[in-house]
């Protein structure tokens, strides 16, 4: 698959989702980057901003199997993975698959589940497999988790640990629509639900090809060093107790490669690194001596980018 085909795919999906979601092109691009890189996305915003609608629109645009789980304190790991049950008709144990066996999983209000249930997602998010009763079951690709959490309510919630956050490629805020976008939204949903009329623009096979092709995007040693300098600086800041892990630096590289394709290039530039740095790195920072603050983490990443020397343009491939 050529990079141009991936770019066209992204444009088709973006336009198709745009029939339902007003604005949010950058958010849609980040979701597509997550899907192509086999990454997962954490959406953090107040209820009613279109998080579930966006996930459903992405699934329908790509003909993906979609499952939604409402996370609650009484949710058990087996409610996600499935169970073995005794079938009296055939006198044997059978496996009843849980909602994790899908292509696109919406984990709604993930921070309302207990740490035990949250941790049951670690294996499937990282290794695309689930261990049940000593048996390993592989998940069908593509597999992507889109989790949501409400940043306002804290009562009855369990903050995601660093190990869980580190497995999310992006942490994204939906944000409120502008006045013009809000007006378009009211007009669009006044008479019918456009989601019900959404048709797929691509199949699973195209996504599988894109997931293999993007890794061929060229990255010079200068860009790799620039990216690594930004990551290493997060570990040296006084206000940061835990910086970005090697998993985070690899995630940033993958995101930059797909971002370059969406911008019509077959090579990564410093602008790709700058564009992807905050959504990939900010949520991986543990701020010292205070609650995790997204705005402060963003400011730290911005400051690091400002202070890090940018590679000379002469060292970049010629487009």
Strands (E), the chain: 41-44, 66-70, 82-87, 92-97, 104-108, 129-132, 135-138, 144-149, 170-172, 240-242, 286-287
Q: How far is CA 68 from the centre of its chain?
A: 15
pLDDT on residue 317:
52
Q: Taking the C-alpha atoms of 131, 137, 142 and 143 in order, what is their torsion angle to the nearest 10 degrees?
A: -30
Residues, the chain? 319
23/180 Cα distance (integer angstroms): 10
Closest residue by Cα to residue 46 from 98, 109, 105, 119? 109
pLDDT on residue 23:
82
What tokens does 298 get?
């963003």
pLDDT means per 10 residues, the chain with 319 residues, are: 84 89 88 92 82 87 88 88 80 82 90 84 86 82 88 72 87 86 86 84 87 92 95 91 91 96 93 95 82 72 93 55
Do residues 96 and 86 touch, judged by C-beta distance below 8 A? no
123/178 Cα distance (integer angstroms): 39
34/45 Cα distance (integer angstroms): 18
10/28 Cα distance (integer angstroms): 9
pLDDT on residue 99:
87
pLDDT on residue 313:
55
């Amino acid at each position: 698959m050529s990079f141009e085909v991936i770019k066209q795919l992204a444009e088709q999906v973006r336009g198709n989702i745009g029939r339902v979601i007003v604005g949010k092109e950058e958010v849609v691009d980040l979701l597509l980057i997550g899907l192509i890189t086999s990454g997962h996305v954490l959406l953090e915003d107040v209820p009613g901003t279109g998080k579930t609608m966006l996930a459903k629109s992405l699934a329908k645009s790509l003909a993906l199997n979609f499952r939604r789980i409402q996370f609650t304190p009484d949710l058990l790991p087996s409610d996600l993975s499935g169970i073995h049950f005794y079938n009296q008709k055939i006198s044997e144990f059978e496996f009843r698959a849980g909602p994790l066996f899908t292509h696109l999983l919406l984990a709604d209000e993930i921070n309302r589940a207990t740490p035990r249930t949250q941790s049951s997602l670690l294996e499937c998010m990282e290794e695309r497999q689930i261990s049940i009763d000593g048996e390993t079951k592989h998940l069908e690709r593509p597999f992507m988790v889109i989790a949501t959490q409400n940043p306002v309510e804290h009562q009855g919630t369990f903050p995601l640990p660093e190990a869980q956050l580190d497995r999310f490629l992006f942490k994204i805020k939906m944000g409120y629509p502008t006045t013009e976008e809000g007006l378009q939204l009211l007009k669009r949903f006044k008479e019918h639900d456009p989601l019900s009329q959404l048709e797929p623009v691509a199949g699973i096979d195209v996504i599988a090809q894109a997931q293999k092709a993007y890794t061929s995007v060229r990255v010079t040693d200068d860009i790799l060093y620039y990216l690594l300098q930004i990551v290493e600086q997060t570990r040296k800041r006084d206000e940061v107790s835990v910086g970005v892990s090697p998993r985070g630096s690899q995630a940033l590289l993958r995101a930059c490669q797909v971002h370059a394709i969406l911008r019509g290039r077959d090579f990564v530039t410093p602008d790709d690194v700058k564009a992807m740095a905050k959504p990939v790195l900010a949520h991986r920072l543990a701020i010292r001596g205070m609650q995790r603050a997204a705005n402060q983490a963003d400011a730290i990443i911005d400051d690091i980018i400002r202070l890090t020397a940018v590679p000379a343009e002469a060292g970049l491939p010629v487009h």
